[in-house]
Amino acid sequence: MTKLYVAQETENSCGIACLSSIAKFYNIDFRSNDLINLRGGNFQGNTLLELKKIAGSIGLEANGYMCTIEELEKCSHPAILHTINSNGFTHFIVSYGYMNNHFLLMDPALGVLYYTKEELNNIWATKSILLFESSKKKGNQNIKPSCKKNYIRKYLLPLINADYRLLFITFILSAFTSLFGVASAVFLQTLVDTILPQKNFQTLLSYLLCYCCIILISQIASYVNTNFIITQNLFFNIRIIKKLLHKIFQLPISFFMVIKTGDIISRLNYAEKIQNSIIYLVNTIIIELLMMFFSIFVLLWYDWSIALATLLSIPLLALITYFYSVKISKQNETLMREYATFDTYSIDTLSGIREIRSFQKEDVFFRRLLSFYKNTQRTSRLLKHTNTNYELSIGMVSVFFSFFTILLGSYYVMIGRIHLGALFAIITIVTMIIQSSIKIVSYAVDIQEAKMAFKRIIFLLDCKTEKELLTSAINNDFTMKEVVINRLEIKNLSFNYFNQPLLLKNINFIVETGQIVSIFGTIGTGKTTIINLIQRFYTGYSGKILYNAHNIEEFSISGWRSMIGYVPQQTKTFVGTIKDNITLFEKNPDTKRVFELCNQLMAKKELTDSITLDLQIDENGSNLSGGQKQIIGIARALYKRPKILLLDEPTSSLDKESELAIINILKEIKNELIIIMITHKPEIAKLSDKIYVIENKTFSCNGNHDDLIYRSNMYSKAYNMLIS
C-alpha cells in the first residue's frame, strides 16, 4: 500500500496527487509535471469535475456520485473523496476499500491511513466521490506516459562529478585522520603493557613525542580537509542554484500559474540540504565504514568473542533506524510542505501591506499568518520528538553493548586471558565501532531530509522548458526579410485554457504597420489571452497566427519575442534605478534614447524633475505612482525598438491629458510598427484606426469609430452611455 502513496507537491495539489496514486494502481505512468506541459489554466484539480476531466486525459474512466458511508463500504474500486481539512480548505483523499472494520485511505498530506466509519464520517461531510471503475484508454491521450528516469544519474551525478577531484582528496584526508582513532587505541595498549613496565623515561618521552607528531599531522590534515570541504560546498551550491535558476527562467508561463512564489523559493533553499548530505556521505559515512571494518579486524585480533558481541549491536541498531526512518521521512515531507505554504502566504501578505493597513485588517492577517507558522512549529515539534525518541533508543542499545563488552573484557583480564593494556584498547575500539555504527545507521534517517529536498528540487528540474514544449517549430534559425509594411494576421483561432470551457472561437484579425488597432470588450472576454497567444505564452490553440504570411511557430521563441514590445496592465518594477527598469538592466544602455523616451512620455510632468533616471525604485515600486509605473512600462517597450507593440490597458492609471499624450505618441510612431491595444474604454478605442469588438467568444464586428457608432453593437452602446 505504501507504494501507492503520493505526496502532494504544493498546498493545493492534493487532487493531482490522488490521481497519481490511482494511476499507479492501474499501472499508468503519470506525473503532475505532465499537466504543466500542456497549456495555461487550472491544473490543480480543485473540484471533482476538474479531476474527472484530467483523469480522462491520462486514460482513466471516472464518474462522480453522491453516496453514503455504507455504500462506500461496499465499493471495491478506488475513489477520490471530497473532504474538508482542519484549516477549512477543500482536500481530496483516496479510498482503496474497506477491510477489518477500517477504510484504507491515501491522504496526500498525511500518508496511508486506516479510518473507522466514524472517523471518516467526521471529515467527509459532502458525501461526494469520484469513482474509478476502469483504466480503459479513451481515444488519443493528451498526455504521453513518461518514462521512468534515474534522477540521481541525470541531475545529481553531473553536479558531483565536477568536484570528483576535491571529493577524492577530502576522502583520502578523512581516511587518514580517522585511522589515527584506531592507532590511538593501539598506542594506549602499547603504553600500558610495554612502555610503562620498562620504567625508562627516555623511551617514554621518545614514544610520546612520536605520538604527538602523528597527532599534529592529523590535525593539519583535518584543517586542510575542512578547507577543501568549504571550497567544494561553495562550488556545488553555486552550480545547483545556477542550474535551478536557469531552469526556472526557461519554464513556461503555465508553471507559474501552478507553483506559487513562496513554494519556488523554498525549493531553492533546499539545495544546501543536498550538499550537506553529499559531504556527510563522502567524509563521514564512507570513512566510518572503513574505520568500522578496520576496527573489527583489530578487535578480532585482540579477542574474537568480544568482537562477536560488539557486532551483535549493528543489526539491532539498523532495525531501530528503519522503524524510525519511515516516520521521520513523512514528518520531514510534511514540514517542508508547511514551510513552503508559510513562505507563500508571507510573501502574499507582506506585498499587500498597504491594502491591509488601509482596511485596518492588521490583526486578521497577523492571526492568519501566525496560524500557518504555528502549523510548521507543531510539525517541527513532532519531528524533534521523533528524533529524540530515536536517539534515546540507539543510546540505550549502545550503553547496553558497551557495558556488556567492558564486563566481558574485564573478566578476561581477571582470568589472565588478556592484559590490562589490551582491555583499554578494546574499550576504545568497541566505543569506536558502536559510535561508527550509530553514525552509519543514522545516515538513513538524516538522508530522509535530503531525499525530500531532492524530490522537491527534481519537480523543478524535470518540468519541460518552454522551448522543449514548442516542438512544432519548423526552423529555429528562420529569419524574416525586411519589409516596409509588416502584417500580423490571426486566422480561425480558437482556444481554451486546460480544463476550462472554450474562451475564444474562430477569431479572425488583421493588423498592419501604420495602424493602431484596438480590441474592445468587457472584462473576462479573452482580450489579454489573445495578446498572450501572440507572444506564444500558451500553446494548444487551433487556427493560425501569421506574420508576413509566415506561421509564427516558424520563428525561434527568442527570435519572435525580440520583435515584440509588451506593456501589461500592471507594470512590474524591479529594485534598481528608473533607467535600469526601462532598459531591464542592459549592460551598455543607450542613455540618450532612454532620456528622449522619458521626455516624450512625460505629459504633465508625470516623471517630475525631482524624479531622475538614477532614482532608486523601492520594492514593488512603492515610491512611484501608478501613472509613473505605466510610463516606465511604455518606455521599456519602446526602448526595445519592436516591430509589434502590444498594449494591455496602457493608460488605465493616467489622467486624461497624459492619456491623450500617449495616444498622440502612438500615432506618431505607428508607421514604424504594428500597434495592438486592448481597452474597455470607448473614448480610447475611438482614437484607433480600427476597432475589433469581442463578445460571445469571438469578434462580433469591426471597423473604425464612424463605422461602428451608427450600428447596434457593444461598442456603440458603451460610447453612447459615455456621452449621454
Domain ranges of the chain: 2-134, 151-466, 483-563+642-724, 573-640
pLDDT at 519 over 90: yes
DSSP 364-432: HHHHHHHHHHHHHHHHHHHHHHHHHHHHHHHHHHHHHHHHHHHHHHHHHHHTTSS-HHHHHHHHHHHHH
Q: What is the pLDDT of residue 473?
A: 46
pLDDT in tens, 682-715: 988 998 999 999 998 999 999 999 889 988 889 9
Shortest CA distance to 694 belongs to which of 484, 538, 490? 490
The pLDDT value given to residue 481:
58
Task: Work out the average pLDDT over 456-467.
Answer: 81
Collect all residues with Cβ–Cβ distance below 8 Å to 125 and sequence separation of at least 6.
83, 84
- The answer to whether the 151-466 and 483-563+642-724 domains have the same CATH topology is no
Strand order in the sheet with 564-567: 564-567, 644-648, 674-679, 516-520, 690-695, 698-703
**Cell (9 digits) for 328:** 521521520
Pair type for strands 550-551 and 542-547: antiparallel
User: Is residue 23 predicted with pLDDT exceeding 80?
Assistant: yes
Q: How many residues are listed for the chain in this entry? A: 724
Q: Are strands 674-679 and 644-648 parallel, antiparallel or unpaired?
A: parallel
Distance CA 139, CA 130 (A): 21
Query: What confidence score (pLDDT) does residue 643 get?
Result: 93
What the block records as the C-alpha cell of 141 is: 491521450
Residue recorded with cell 490511482: 22
Q: Residue 283 pLDDT > 80, yes or no?
A: no
Beta-strand ranges (E) seen in 214-351 are none
Q: What is the pLDDT of residue 647?
A: 94
Model pTM?
0.73
State the average pLDDT for the chain.
82
Smallest CA-to-CA distance from 522 within 676, 713, 723 is with 713
Alpha helices in 573-686 (DSSP H): 578-583, 591-601, 626-639, 656-669, 682-685
Q: Which of 221-230, 507-516, 627-636, 662-671 has the least mean pLDDT? A: 221-230
H or E stretch covering 95:
strand 90-99
pLDDT, tens only, 51-88? 888 888 777 888 888 888 888 888 888 999 988 877 67
CB 516 within 8 Å of CB 666: yes
Q: Is the pLDDT of residue 472 over 60?
A: no
Question: What's the pLDDT score for residue 478?
Answer: 53
Q: How far apart are CA 687 and CA 670, in angstroms?
A: 13
Q: Phi, psi (5° rounding) for residue 142?
A: -75, -25
Please state, in angstroms and rounded to a whole number, the distance separating the CA atoms of residues 21 and 30.
9
- Segment 464-474 shows an average pLDDT of 67
Q: What is the mean pLDDT of residues 534-562?
A: 89
What pLDDT is stored for residue 148 in this prediction? 44
Q: Could you count the other beta carbons within 10 Å of the beta carbon of residue 709? A: 16
- Domain made up of 2-134: CATH architecture: Alpha-Beta Complex (3.90)
On the question of pLDDT at 445 being above 80, the answer is no
Task: Give me the percent of the chain exceeding a pLDDT of 90.
Answer: 15
Q: Report residue 256 CA to chain centroid gap.
A: 10
How far does CA 330 lie from the centroid of its chain?
19
- Determine the 3-state secondary structure of 512 from DSSP: strand
Q: What is the pLDDT of residue 606?
A: 46
Q: What pLDDT is attached to residue 94? A: 92
156, pLDDT greater than 80: no
The rounded distance, in Å, linking the Cα atoms of 722 and 724 is: 6
What would the pLDDT profile of 576-602 be if each residue is shown by its tens digit? 888 999 999 988 889 889 888 888 886
Q: What's the confidence (pLDDT) of residue 505? A: 92
The answer for 605, left when phi > 0, alpha when psi is -120 to 50, beta otherwise, is: left
**Lowest mean pLDDT segment, chosen from 334-338, 398-402, 563-567:** 334-338
Confidence of residue 678 (pLDDT cuts 50, 70, 90): very high
Give the pLDDT of residue 513: 93
Three-class secondary structure of residue 464 per DSSP = coil
Flag whether pLDDT at 39 surpasses 60: no
How much is the average pLDDT of 323-352?
82
Rounded Cα–Cα distance for residues 237 and 239 (Å): 5
At position 209, the amino acid (one-letter code) is: L
Distances, alpha carbon 189 to alpha carbons 186, 218, 427, 428, in Å:
5, 20, 10, 10
Helix (H) or strand (E) run with residue 97 in it: strand 90-99
Interatomic CA distance for residues 56 and 52, integer angstroms: 6
Which pLDDT value is given to residue 144?
A: 43
Bridging pattern class, strands 674-679 and 516-520: parallel
Residue 642: pLDDT band by 50, 70, 90 thresholds? very high
Rounded CA separation 355/352 (Å): 6
The reported pLDDT for the residue numbered 331 is 84
pLDDT at site 40: 54
Q: Which CATH architecture has domain 483-563+642-724?
A: 3-Layer(aba) Sandwich (3.40)
The DSSP code sequence of 536-547 is TS----EEEEEE
User: What is the C-alpha to C-alpha distance for residues 596 and 322, in angstroms, rounded to an integer?
Assistant: 69
What is the tens place of the pLDDT at every residue in 194-224? 788 888 888 888 888 888 888 888 888 888 8
Domain 151-466 has CATH 2.60.120.380: no
Task: Give the three cell numbers for residue 216.
Answer: 599534529
pLDDT at position 638 is: 93
Do 72 and 140 touch, CB atoms closer than 8 A?
A: no
Task: Please state, in angstroms and rounded to a whole number, the distance separating the CA atoms of residues 353 and 347.
Answer: 10
- Taking Cα atoms as reference points, which of 604, 483, 588, 466 lies closest to residue 537? 466
Q: In Å, how far are 170, 225, 277, 450 from 231, measured between CA atoms?
A: 11, 10, 16, 20
pLDDT above 90 (res 228): no
pLDDT for residue 220:
87
User: Quick one: pLDDT at residue 146?
Assistant: 41
Is residue 233 predicted with pLDDT exceeding 90?
A: no
Which is more confident, 637 or 143? 637
> What average pLDDT does this structure show over 244-252?
87
Q: Tell whether the torsion through CA atoms of 113, 114, 117 and 119 is positive or negative.
A: negative
> What is the residue type of 423?
L
3-state secondary structure 125-153: CCCEEEEEEECCCCCCCCCCCCCCCCHHH
C-alpha to C-alpha distance for 579 and 585, rounded to whole angstroms: 8
- Whether pLDDT at 608 is above 60: no
Reported as a single tens digit per residue, the pLDDT across 521-537 is 888 888 999 999 999 88
Q: Single out the residue of 689, 687, 691 nearest to residue 711, CA to CA.
A: 691
Q: Over range 274-298, report the average pLDDT.
A: 75
Amino acid sitting at position 69: I
CA distance linking residue 13 with residue 643, whole number of Å: 40
Which position has the grid cell 493588423?
Answer: 511
Q: With bands split at pLDDT 50, 70 and 90, how would you rate the model's confidence at 487?
A: very high
The C-alpha atoms of residue 604 and residue 613 are separated, in whole angstroms, by 17
List, for residues 652-664, the tens digit of each pLDDT value. Answer: 877 787 788 888 8
From the list 80, 85, 63, 41, the residue with the least C-alpha distance to 134 is: 63
Q: Cα 30–35–40 angle (5° rounding)? A: 175
pLDDT of residue 475: 46
**Residue 509 near residue 699 (C-beta atoms within 8 A):** yes
Tell whether the model's pLDDT for residue 3 goes beyond 80. no
Residue 491 pLDDT: 94
Lowest model confidence (mean pLDDT) among 13-27, 276-290, 539-553, 621-635:
276-290
